[in-house]
Structure 1
Amino acid sequence: MDLPRHLITQIVTGGDLSQALDAGVTSEWLADPKALQVWQFLTEFQIRHGKAPTTEALKAEFPTYKLAKQPEPLDYVLDKLREQRKMSILEAALGRATQRFTTGDPEATARELAAALAELEAEVPSTVDVDITTTALKRAAAYRERAGQELRMHGIPTGFDAVDQLTGGWRPGWLVALVGPPKAGKSTYLLLSSLAAWSAPKRPMFVTFEMTAREMEERLDALESKVSPNGLRDGTLTKADLDRVEKRLRSMELRPSYWLTEDASSASTVSQIVAKAQRLKPDILFIDGVYLMSDDHGEKPGDWKAIANITRGLKRAAKSLGIPIIISTQVRLSKIHGGEITAASIGYGPSFAEDADLIIAAQPTSDHDITKMKSLVGRTVAPFEFWIRRDWDHGTMTELAYDPFGDTDDLGDDDDDVDMF
C-alpha cells in the first residue's frame, strides 16, 4: 500500500492537515521523493492559508501526481505510518548496534540501542489538550478544598521545612536541581530528601553516579538512625547506638520500597533510567551526579551538548512519568565570586537553568558544620535562603531559624530551629 499517497489524499479531500501534524508526522516519515515534495507543499500551504490546499490547487502545483481512488481511513493510515517509521528507526539502530557489537564494544552497542529508544519516544506525540472552560468548576472546588486544609502539603515532603512552606512539597512533573561545589554535602542532602519522601510514605528511586551502593546504604542508615556515619562505618558506635540502628532497620521491612541504583561506570542514559522507572514505578526519582551520565545521542560525556540532552530528557521524563525528579550537579569553583554561588556558577552550560523548575545551591560557609541553602532559579517559587547545621558526631542536622552569621541582635530563638529528618 502506498501510505503517503493515502495520507495526502485524505488531507486534500478533508481540507485539514492538523490531525496528521498532531500525530507527529514530519517529512522524515516520507521516503518517496515525490510524496516528500507534496508534503512540503501541503505544510507550507497550511501555514500560509490556514487550511490544506484543494485538489485543484494540488493539481496545479503537481499536475502528474495522482491521488488514491479509494483512500483508507486517516486513523488507519497514520497508525501504519507510525509503525513504518518506528521500524525504520529500529532497523537503522540495529545496523549500527550490530557493527558496534561485532567490534566487541558492549557499551557502545547499548548506547546505540538506547539512542533508538529515545528517538522512538520522541516520535510519539506527548501533548495534552485541555479546554479550560470545561474544568473550571472542578478547579474551583479543588482550590476551596486546599484552602480548608490545615497542612498545606500538596506535593511530596522535601526534607527542608523552608522549602516545604514555599512550595508545598516536590510536585509531579518538576525537575529540581541541587548544585554546589565538590564535597558540599549534595549527596547527603539528596538522601535526606529521599528519606523525607520515604516517610510520607512514598517510594523513592535513587540513582547515584557519585557513591557506591554500600556507601549509600551506610549514609542512609546513619541519617535514619541519627548516629555518626563514621562510627557506623568504622565500627565505633556504642551499644545504645547499635540498638537504635537495628531497631530502625527492622522497621524498614514495613515501609514502602526504596530502590538504590549504583552506576560506577556512568553508562546509564536518560532512556535507560526512565525504562527502569517505568518498571519499578517510584513516586519520586533522585539522580546524584547527572553531569557524569551518558547521553542517549552519543555526545561526549560532560560536554555541554550532552548535558543539554540529559536535562531536556529528564524534564520530559518528569512530565511523562508524572513524578518529581531531583538531581544534583557541580558548580565551577572558578565561577564562584566572593564566596557566593549564582546560576552562572553552574558548570556544563545553561541547560540546568533553562530546564529546571527550581535550582537550590548548597553553599559552604566559614563554619565547616554550617551550609547556606539558597534558591538560584525558581519558576513559580519565591527566592529563599536558610542554613543547615550538621552534627557529624550524632548524625543529626538542624535547619536554623536565623542567619548564624548575621547581627547577634537579629538572631532568632533556638526553639524555632527544626530538627531535620
Structure 2
Amino acid sequence: MEKKDFKKKEMTGLELNLLHAEEVENAVLGAVMLEPVSLHEVEGFVREEMFYQQKHRYIWRAIESLSAKGLEPDIIMVTQELAAMGKLEEAGGAYEVTLKTANLASSAHLWEHVRVLYEFYLRRSIAECMMRRLGEVTDRTQDVYEVLLGLMADLEKLEENSPLEEHLLDMKGVMKKTCGRIRERVGRSVNGVTGIPTGVPELDRITGGWQPGNLIFTAGRPGMGKTQLGLKFALHAAEKGYKVLFYTLEMMSEEVGERVLMMRAPELYRKVKGGYTTEQEVDDLCRVGDEVAECRMMVDDTPYVSIDRLCAGAQTVKSRWGLDLVVVDYLQLLGTVARTGRTREQEVAECSRRLKALARSLECPVIVASQLNRQVEQTFDHRPELKHLRESGAIEQDADLVIMLHRNERGGDPKRCGLIVAKNRHGEASQPNTSVEVDLF
C-alpha cells in the first residue's frame, strides 16, 4: 500500500473500498477522452479533488488545461499535455492513459458516473471532516456546542458546494416546475390568500400571505413595535395550524409568553401584572395561557445567537418536526464569525444573505425584524424609506418584502401602527403617503 493511501485509511478509519471506486474514476476520464465533446456537459461540475487517486487528478488537470486552450482532450493530446506538465510518469505513463477508454463504447452514461464519483468524494470529505473535529471533541477545553456548530457548518458547506444540484434547467423543466408551483399555490388558496395568512387583511391582499422561500424584513426605530409585530405574525400563523419557530435574541421565553397573554387578554393581563387582582383572575389568565399553549409555535431564547447556530437550529427543527414559518427578532443582534478587517456592515450583509439562503433551503418564509437608522427621524413626517435601513444595503437587495413600521405621532395609540410595504418583489408596494393600519395587541 502506498504511503498516501495508508494515511487516508488511518485518518478515516474506514476501508478504502468504501471511499473510492477506481472503475468509476476511469469511466469519467475515459468518456471525456473518448468523446471530447462530452466534456462540455460536466465541465465546471467535476473538480480535480473529486478523484481519489493522484494519477487521476493529474489526468483531469491535463484535460482541463487543454479545454482552457480550446483544444480537444483526446488520448493523444492528454498524453502530450501530461508530458509538457512533467506529470506523465506520475499519471502512470502513456499506456495507463490509453487504458481509460479500453472498456467504454461511448460517453452515454457519463452523468451517472459523475454522480457516483461525487458520492464517493462526499463520503471521503465527511469522514475527513469528522476526524478533523474528533480532536476538538476529545479536548475538554473546547466548548462542545461550538464544536457541534462547527461540525454542522462543515457539513452544510459540503451540501451547499454540491455540483450536482439541479439549478440549470431548460425551459421545459422551468415551466414544469412553474406550473406545479402554481397548481400547489391555487390548491392552498383560501379567500385569495395563497401563502401563510398574515393576520392583517389588507396585507394579505397585497402579498397573498407569506410565501415559501421568501425573506421578509419588518423595519422600525426602537420602541415602534417590531417585536410585537413579529410575535403577532408568528402567533396568528401558529393558531391557524402552521408550525412556527420564533427566535428572540433579547427576551427570555417567559417574556414572550407575557407578550402573548397581553395580546390575548389585555385588560386581564394589565390587572395581574399590576398586582391588583384576585386569585380567580390569575386563574382566568392562566386558562388563556393553556389555550394558547396548544398552538404550534416553538420559541428559542438563546441570547445573541450566531447566524450559524440559528441556521443549524432551524434546519434541525425542519427535519425533526417540520417548519412552515421562521421569525427572527432581530437582525442586528445576530452574531457572526469574527474576521479581521470586516466592518459591521459586512457582518450584517452576511447575516442577510445567510437568512435568504435559509428561506430557500427550508422552503418557508423567514420574517426578520431590523432597525432603521436615525435619519428617518430627521424627515418631515418621519415616514421611513428603504434608504433608512440600518447598517447594510444588502438587506434591501436580499429581501423579497420589506415592511416598515410608521407612526405619525410618537404620542399616538401604542396599540396601533401603520405598515408601509416599501418593497414587494412579487407584487405591489404601498402608494405614497399611504399605510396599512394594524392593531399590535
Could you say which TM-score interval applies, normalised by the shorter chain? 0.7 to 0.9
Q: Does 1:280 align with 2:300?
A: no
| Structure-2 change in CA distance of 1:237 and 1:306 (3 Å) | farther
The letter of the residue matching 2:80 is A
Of 255-264 and 300-309, deviating more is 300-309
| Equivalent residue for 1:184, pick from 197, 208, 224 | 224
**Contact 1:336–1:345 (CA under 8 A) maintained in structure 2:** no
C-alpha deviation, 1:221, in angstroms: 2.0
Residue of structure 2 in register with 1:168 after alignment: 208
| Structure-2 change in CA distance of 1:36 and 1:109 (3 Å) | same
| Structure-2 change in CA distance of 1:294 and 1:141 (3 Å) | closer
**Contact 1:11–1:52 (CA under 8 A) maintained in structure 2:** no
| Equivalent residue for 2:428, pick from 379, 382, 386 | 382
Equivalent residue runs for 1:248-287 within 5 Å: 248-252=288-292, 255-267=294-306, 268-287=309-328
| Equivalent residue for 1:350, pick from 377, 393, 396 | 393
Residue of structure 1 in register with 2:110 after alignment: none
C-alpha deviation, 1:210, in angstroms: 1.9
Aligned identity (percent) is: 18
**Contact 1:180–1:362 (CA under 8 A) maintained in structure 2:** yes
| Equivalent residue for 2:126, pick from 86, 98, 106 | 86
Aligned to 1:170, what secondary structure does the other structure show? coil
Equivalent residue runs for 1:397-408 within 5 Å: 397=441
Q: Deviations over 1:314-356 (max 9, x none)?
A: 2222222221111112222256541333323223322222222
| Structure-2 change in CA distance of 1:27 and 1:292 (3 Å) | farther
Aligned to 2:356, what secondary structure does the other structure show? helix
| Structure whose alpha-carbon radius of gyration is higher | 2
The letter of the residue matching 1:183 is G
| Equivalent residue for 2:34, pick from 3, 10, 13 | 13
**Contact 1:287–1:326 (CA under 8 A) maintained in structure 2:** yes
| Counterpart-to-counterpart distance in 2, 1:277 and 1:145 | 21
The 4+ residue runs of structure 1 with deviation greater than 6 A are: 31-34, 147-150, 238-241
Tell me the TM-score normalised to structure 2 length.
Answer: 0.73
**Contact 2:188–2:194 (CA under 8 A) maintained in structure 1:** no
C-alpha deviation, 1:187, in angstroms: 0.8
| Counterpart-to-counterpart distance in 1, 2:159 and 2:29 | 25
Q: Over aligned residues, Cα RMSD in angstroms?
A: 3.9
| Counterpart-to-counterpart distance in 2, 1:5 and 1:189 | 59
Equivalent residue runs for 1:93-104 within 5 Å: 93-95=133-135, 97-98=136-137, 101-104=139-142
**Contact 1:162–1:386 (CA under 8 A) maintained in structure 2:** no
Aligned to 1:62, what secondary structure does the other structure show? helix
Of 195-204 and 40-49, deviating more is 40-49
**Contact 1:159–1:193 (CA under 8 A) maintained in structure 2:** yes
| Counterpart-to-counterpart distance in 1, 2:269 and 2:329 | 19
| Equivalent residue for 1:371, pick from 403, 417, 425 | 417
Equivalent residue runs for 1:302-317 within 5 Å: 303-317=344-358
Residue of structure 2 in register with 1:361 after alignment: 404
**Contact 2:235–2:297 (CA under 8 A) maintained in structure 1:** no
**Contact 1:227–1:241 (CA under 8 A) maintained in structure 2:** no
